[in-house]
Structure 1
Amino acid sequence: MQHGESRILLGLTLVGAVVRYWKIGRPSSVVFDEVHFGGFVSLSRQSRFFMDVHPPLAKLLITLVAWASGFQGGQFDFKDIGREYGPDHVPYIAMRLLPATLGLALIPMSYLTLRALQLRPATALLGALFVTFENGLITQSRLILLDSPLIFFTALSVFFWVGFSNENDVARDRAGRVGPFSRRWWAWLTLTGLALGAVVSCKWVGLFTIATVGVFTLVQLWLLLGDLRVPVPLLARHFAARAACLIAVPVVFYVSMFAIHFAILSNSGEGDGFMSSEFQHTLRGHGMEDTFADVMIGSRLSIRHVHTQGGYLHSHPATYPGGSKQQQITLYPHRDDNNIWLVLNSTADGSIPDPETHAPPHPIPDRTTIVLHHPSTHKKLHSHDIRPQVTEVDYQNEVSAYGFEGFEGDANDFWVVEIDQAESEGRVAKKQLETLRTKFRLRHALTGCYLFSHKVKLPDWGFEQQEVTCNKNPSRENALWYIETNTHAMLPPDAKKVNYRRPSFLQKFAELQAVMWQTNQGLTDRHAYDSRPHSWPLLLRGINFWVKDHRQVYLIGNPFVWALSTLAVLSYAGVRGLLILRAQRGYKDFAHSQVVFYDRVATFLFCGWFLHYAPFFLMGRQLFLHHYFPALYFALLLTATAFDLATARLRPRVRLVVVGALVAAAVVAWWALSPLAYAGEWTRAKCDRAKTWGKNWDFSCADFHPSVRPSPSLSLSLSLSPSLSLSCESATDLDCLP
């Protein structure tokens, strides 16, 4: 940087602080996804396990601020948008300051990155001010959300990578030859790896940043491979250094964040149901005592489903509203006395003897026909040729609990145990029922269907618990069950006992990654404000975050800045295509150093934009405008690069005038839409004028006052003065300002 640029950075930081921090406590109630991320912070402060589709770093940072502010968690329920923070002393302003500060740091970071790309100070100033006054980035950074940390670490990765690339190009050893393995070289490379680890530890979108750096790492190595002056041992060192710093370091950083995550979330919580039983039993409050291994006739046991996060086979004193109108059978994720079943043997004549007559107890081998009695309601697990209430298809039958105290039951209560030997663990478990180790199916003796569950939830009348049916053609995994707990009054205390095998950290880590992926892929339901990638560069619609008291927070970008960024992307594609055509025709454009320089910088930024944007077209999950923000950052840097090229022949003062004009236009657009970012007062007329810039913008102008309300003193003076006939319906906004 040139002498005096530190004052530019200071000025940018001060302006950015005003723009990012202005009235950050407004609104003073829960906004949009603060419902989720504020709730996760609360659970973290209670050490209660939760499941989120995003890695933990950004949430850990916000939790750290909440801890430093004295927030204990549990005293405030974040579950409702619009709920006021005030009465419960939630340090929401401090929690919002973390993303806001990282959003502020993005401004000088963009300036430093453009300067590191060897662009002019005026160009870097323009790019940084575009970032400063980008309404979408402002709105997203002022709330308890994860996108501001994500974008900051994306920018930090880019800055460190550019610094490393510069050092790699100019480093010299003592003999004057190119010697890249200096301390500065290693520092830039290691910092790049740490930043990549941080960005992917905020959201998996950070993988696109890793891909960007990865592509240009391969380019560097490819050029080294083609340089015959580089000996093979030195080439191997280059490969090893990049593998260590750009692969191993991010992986270690990412895994370390989950180690901290697991250490904090050590108690059982609302996320237990997503995880396997083995995982759950590593959490305090969810462990269980050793239980008898051998399952006997007369055992009291709990039965869990193998596939769908292992809910318990459950019944309760509520009936189906239709069908047989018998007692409901469901899958329930929590421990409960209603999960307990007494296993009985059936007899040839169809009668069901008292379990006390089975002394001594005997095991249950494969193909045994049993009856499952529900002690708390005195009914038995039952099925018949009646369609279920929700999955009403011919090949599925209703499963119910049927009978009453003293009733022996009937043949529709008979179930045949079929042990799955491939899934069962151990020689004994493959031959007879063994707690935890045997995986088995239950076939209904009369109809031939199998006890089955899937991820379909029952309506309110079923308490939104998971549906259980009897399926004549089930998928293998959804018909598998196992026994978790097993007691028997007649087994000696020293009989063989078992418990869950405790998974290692890496096993828990791998399982959570798989659950996060599956859950992420399952987010396919439409949302009122979701959007598809083709609409993002055109800023066709935003997201309604919050509406209350005639104010609104609506995520929308700065239309002027957004338009320039999209134009810059299209211009690069067009100019690059033209240069390729000219090269094919024999023109020597790439013999000019200026063309080579701008092509190198613009190609890097365009690839960053493309790799952070194009993958979203492959996704079927819910997507929103804020998913475009990392790509937008690259587009804004590319806009500044295009400006640098376009004004290359202008005198510095003229260039500064152009910068001033462009920034002024950006500030006007920012100010026009600022009430949507700051939850400020707005009139319907101003709202309607703003919507003319984007015909598809769906924020509601009807939510605002017809005009700005006057202060009580002004209203009183107007009413006392007969000579004044102004009213806020007819007066200008200035006349009606309090």
Structure 2
Amino acid sequence: MRDSEEVQGKRVVGRLAPVHQGAAMVTRLHNFMQHFRDSESVHSWWCVWWVFLVAAVASRLHYITMPYKVVWDEAHFGKMVGWYINRTFFTDVHPPGGKILLALFGYFGGYNGSHSFISPNTPYDGFHGIMPMRVGCALLGAGLVPLAFHIVWTLTRSLPASAFASALITFEVGTITLSKFILLDPLLFFFILASFHGLCLMHSVAHRSFSREWWGSLLYTGVMLGFVMSIKFVGLFVVLVVGLYTALDLWNKLGDLHCPLVNVLKHLVAYILCLIILPATIYITVFFIHDQLLVRAKSIHAAEEGIFSPGFQMKLKDNALNNITQPKDVAYGSIVTLKNNNLAGVYLHSHNLTYPERIPGKNMQQVTGFSAKDVNNYFKILFPEEDPDLANGFYNGLPELVSHGDWVRLYHPTTSAILACSKNKSLVTRKHRLIYAKPYNLTDVVEVVYSNNMFDSNSNSGVSSSLMSPWQLWKVHIEGGQPGDVVKTLDSRVKFLCVPYNCALTWSKAKLPLMWGGGQAEVTCSNNLQDPYTMWMVEQHYNPYLKNYTYNHLKSGFLSRFVETHRIMTWINSRLKPEGPDRFNSHRPWMWPICFKSQVWYDVNFRIVLLGNPLIFWINLVFLLITPVFLLYHYYRYKRGYDDTPQIEEKKERVLFACKWLLLAYLMHYIPFYTMDRILYYHHYFPALQFSSLLTGVVLGHLLEALDSWLPSSKANTAFYWVSGIFFVMLIYSFHLFCYVGYGHPTISGFNPDNSTFKNIRVFDEWEI
């Protein structure tokens, strides 16, 4: 009987054990949530930290090799990595810091820079060390989450707010997509948030001036600012945010009558050293590394080197100007290249193509501006009416030098044509005259007369031809020159004035139509003789009857190259206008906060679309609208003299500071794009998106923690748990719905909106998913 009771008792205990275990789990969960809300448990803090860190890394590394081919702008930046590894010169619109970091990822991953990255869809098979570059970008993209967590924690000391902000960044699909490929964006996002993180650390130790922690926060912020400016010029926006914070801090100290003026000056010096000189030093150092690494020209014909000054080009091995020897004084019969003396100046160029028949100047040979060194850039300087005496095309007797005030003709040897000015208007810049090249035979005088007459009669130019046609004559005007001054190679700045029309050969800065002009620069004759674009210089000079000289003394130093590189980068940036197919892909800033339009990145048997998590965009938009109301409400309470307990007042001050500066950072990274007329893409919004996610986390966390002010404690706890749970579930579910839009998914044929896997979650027709 006793044995039977014992057995029955064990069965009862066995049945009750799961109940007790379930009750224990509920108790532990309840305690965790209580600690989570109160933000007092170190254990809960680290648990949340590690959960989001693991989620961030896993979400960024998932599908990291898919597709195992070049995707979107990997074709752009992958080439640059190879050029760095092979030390080949190139120029780009962005500073070199991010590209050097990508090259380091590739170098330490074993990449030898041999992949062509020629275009999207080029396979990576057979090339080692490319995936480490994607992994490096993904890990920096994952670093946004711990940075976001600690930014919000530093500002608010609220674990829920930190978790909400971290979740918004962790599950944001567009940010993940931008973090998984060989791009500058994950690097830029990381250092932007790191710079703002430094601002938060500075604020948190502001009351401990000149302590070790205070100096550490300043130095950390300065280093991050230097890095972010070295990646993209968009980093200037966060520099302005930090600069405004320090300026206001100094202003407040200056207005504090209890703060000695000497102390204010000490802070000013510290800020200048750490937040101006240190970032500037890092920025210049990055350019110095870039300058020392890239020492080889791509080829003798590369356009990227051609837009730089001769002194810059002389630094590059394999460039035509590197260690060049050529005559110093220009003579009649010399073969020269003429380069426009302005920033990114083009070479005078002609080729065996004519202007279209449907316009004035039909069938005339084109004269254009070309950026690259090319055989068609060479022109021979002829006397006004004499022909060469020697079989090799040069003049007999002692060389006669070209001087200020001389009349010359410019002969194009490759096409046997001579430069001339037409009475017709130029084709793009209508206020200028048309420049063309006229067939001319140097060896047969009779044929010259005949071909000139035939050409003029067919071209309807109305110009009677002779051996010395005035429309072929150009007066040499050396800038600052006097009669008798000789044109010097690489030294003189020369204008060529058409004798009958008194107009100057100029680069109009316009482009010829792509259809018949190949998009090359337009060269015209301008009546504005003071136009700086009428200035030319002789860059390369060949004449076997003149003594050669070296020009190494003209080679640019680092500071000159540093300044010129920035001028070229600014020039390239100014030319990034929406045109051609790009005008259809260009986004406008109003589209971004509402997630109105997607951007297709890859669609060859595997489709990737940059869209983002629309739920996160829309939640952030709601809180962007709530935040100004929230700030105005508390400003009203402050003006009306409402008092709170010291504990609530301290927490409120933290939240208000966070809201003001996060909102300012968002606006600083968003509003400037409305002023830009350059081509814009969807990814330009994502730095601002990170700040809006942080702002949402701060405001949502504060509202939920403030429920105790409106509801009884038990109901406030219940509401907090439910709202928090629903928030996280919604984010995870929306991530589940949209993640493979950004990760990519295999496809069988081209995109069909009516038969798409994701057609049921398409809100706007502009979502190509």
Pairwise TM-score range, normalised by the shorter structure: 0.7 to 0.9
1:463-513 Cα deviation digits (max 9, x unpaired): 5543333344477122221111233333356xx665661222111111111
Mind listing any 5+ residue stretches in structure 2 that lack a counterpart? Answer: 1-39, 446-466, 748-753
Query: Which aligned pairs between 1:264-343 and structure 2 lie closer than 5 A?
Result: 264-269=293-298, 270=302, 271-286=304-319, 287-307=322-342, 309-322=344-357, 323=361, 325-343=363-381
1:665 aligns with 2:761: no
Q: Which residue of 1 aligns with 2:76?
A: 36
Distance (Å, rounded) in 2 between the aligned partners of 1:9 and 1:105: 12
RMSD across aligned positions (CA):
2.7
Amino acid at match of 2:439: Y
Residue number among 691, 704, 707 corresponding to 2:762 in the alignment: 691
> Matched residue of 2:147: which SS?
helix
- Alpha-carbon offset, residue 258 of structure 1: 0.9
Distance (Å, rounded) in 2 between the aligned partners of 1:451 and 1:302: 14
- Alpha-carbon offset, residue 662 of structure 1: 0.5
Tell whether the 8 Å contact from 2:172 to 2:613 is kept in structure 1 after alignment. yes
Distance (Å, rounded) in 2 between the aligned partners of 1:412 and 1:25: 66
Distance (Å, rounded) in 2 between the aligned partners of 1:475 and 1:81: 46
1:105 aligns with 2:162: no
TM-score, normalised by the number of residues in structure 2? 0.82
- Alpha-carbon offset, residue 561 of structure 1: 1.6
Moved more, 645-654 or 93-102: 645-654
> Matched residue of 1:552: which SS?
strand
TM-aligned CA distance change 1:462 to 1:623, over 3 Å: closer
1:569-610 Cα deviation digits (max 9, x unpaired): 211112223444555566568994443332122112111112
Distance (Å, rounded) in 2 between the aligned partners of 1:655 and 1:85: 49
Distance (Å, rounded) in 2 between the aligned partners of 1:254 and 1:236: 26
Which has the larger share of helix? 2
Moved more, 507-516 or 261-270: 261-270
Distance (Å, rounded) in 2 between the aligned partners of 1:622 and 1:234: 47
1:634-685 Cα deviation digits (max 9, x unpaired): 1111111112211112666763443222011011111111121111258946
Distance (Å, rounded) in 2 between the aligned partners of 1:415 and 1:497: 32
Tell whether the 8 Å contact from 2:109 to 2:130 is kept in structure 1 after alignment. no
Residue number among 572, 593, 599 corresponding to 2:656 in the alignment: 599
- Alpha-carbon offset, residue 253 of structure 1: 0.8
Tell whether the 8 Å contact from 1:399 to 1:468 is kept in structure 2 after alignment. no
Residue number among 491, 495, 498 corresponding to 1:437 in the alignment: 491
Residue number among 420, 428, 433 corresponding to 1:391 in the alignment: 428
Residue number among 468, 479, 493 corresponding to 1:421 in the alignment: 479
Distance (Å, rounded) in 2 between the aligned partners of 1:132 and 1:668: 13
- Alpha-carbon offset, residue 691 of structure 1: 0.5
Residue number among 207, 223, 243 corresponding to 2:272 in the alignment: 243
1:546 aligns with 2:602: yes
Question: Quick one: percent identity of the two aligned structures?
Answer: 27
TM-aligned CA distance change 1:128 to 1:506, over 3 Å: same
TM-aligned CA distance change 1:466 to 1:184, over 3 Å: same
Distance (Å, rounded) in 1 between the aligned partners of 2:366 and 2:677: 35
Distance (Å, rounded) in 2 between the aligned partners of 1:119 and 1:564: 23
Distance (Å, rounded) in 2 between the aligned partners of 1:588 and 1:55: 51
Q: Which residue of 1 aligns with 2:696?
A: 639
- Alpha-carbon offset, residue 27 of structure 1: 1.8
> Matched residue of 1:117: which SS?
helix
Moved more, 398-407 or 321-330: 321-330
Q: Which residue of 1 aligns with 2:32?
A: none
Aligned residues: 676
Query: Which aligned pairs between 1:342-491 and structure 2 lie closer than 5 A?
Result: 342-346=380-384, 350-352=385-387, 354=389, 359-386=397-424, 390-391=427-428, 393=430, 395-408=432-445, 409-412=467-470, 414-422=472-480, 431-455=485-509, 456-457=511-512, 459=514, 462=517, 464-473=519-528, 476-491=531-546
Amino acid at match of 1:37: F
- Alpha-carbon offset, residue 90 of structure 1: 5.6
Amino acid at match of 2:683: H
1:53-82 Cα deviation digits (max 9, x unpaired): 111121111111112233222432x23223
Distance (Å, rounded) in 2 between the aligned partners of 1:68 and 1:634: 32
Tell whether the 8 Å contact from 2:343 to 2:567 is kept in structure 1 after alignment. no
Amino acid at match of 1:375: P
Larger Rg: 2
Q: Which residue of 2 aligns with 1:56?
A: 96
TM-aligned CA distance change 1:672 to 1:475, over 3 Å: farther
1:269-309 Cα deviation digits (max 9, x unpaired): 34213322221221111114132221122323222222362
1:241-291 Cα deviation digits (max 9, x unpaired): 011101111111111111111122111134213322221221111114132
> Matched residue of 1:553: which SS?
strand
Tell whether the 8 Å contact from 2:489 to 2:537 is kept in structure 1 after alignment. yes
Tell whether the 8 Å contact from 2:155 to 2:654 is kept in structure 1 after alignment. no
Q: Which residue of 1 aligns with 2:627?
A: 572
Moved more, 403-412 or 602-611: 403-412
Query: Which aligned pairs between 1:6-25 and structure 2 lie closer than 5 A?
Result: 6-25=46-65
Tell whether the 8 Å contact from 2:339 to 2:346 is kept in structure 1 after alignment. yes
Tell whether the 8 Å contact from 1:371 to 1:413 is kept in structure 2 after alignment. no
1:81 aligns with 2:146: no
Q: Which residue of 1 aligns with 2:617?
A: 562
Distance (Å, rounded) in 2 between the aligned partners of 1:245 and 1:534: 37
Amino acid at match of 2:318: G
Mind listing any 5+ residue stretches in structure 1 that lack a counterpart? Answer: 172-179, 701-738
Distance (Å, rounded) in 2 between the aligned partners of 1:457 and 1:280: 27
1:212 aligns with 2:236: no
Tell whether the 8 Å contact from 1:415 to 1:442 is kept in structure 2 after alignment. no
Tell whether the 8 Å contact from 2:596 to 2:767 is kept in structure 1 after alignment. no
TM-score, normalised by the number of residues in structure 1? 0.85
Amino acid at match of 1:58: G
Distance (Å, rounded) in 2 between the aligned partners of 1:429 and 1:244: 54
> Matched residue of 2:58: which SS?
helix
1:630 aligns with 2:687: yes
> Matched residue of 1:491: which SS?
coil
TM-aligned CA distance change 1:653 to 1:100, over 3 Å: farther
TM-aligned CA distance change 1:375 to 1:536, over 3 Å: closer
Amino acid at match of 2:616: V
Tell whether the 8 Å contact from 2:407 to 2:476 is kept in structure 1 after alignment. no
Moved more, 517-526 or 505-514: 517-526
Amino acid at match of 1:281: M
Distance (Å, rounded) in 2 between the aligned partners of 1:404 and 1:421: 32
Residue number among 666, 672, 676 corresponding to 1:615 in the alignment: 672
> Matched residue of 2:745: which SS?
coil
- Alpha-carbon offset, residue 536 of structure 1: 1.6
Distance (Å, rounded) in 2 between the aligned partners of 1:472 and 1:353: 32
Tell whether the 8 Å contact from 2:335 to 2:380 is kept in structure 1 after alignment. yes
Residue number among 139, 143, 148 corresponding to 2:177 in the alignment: 139
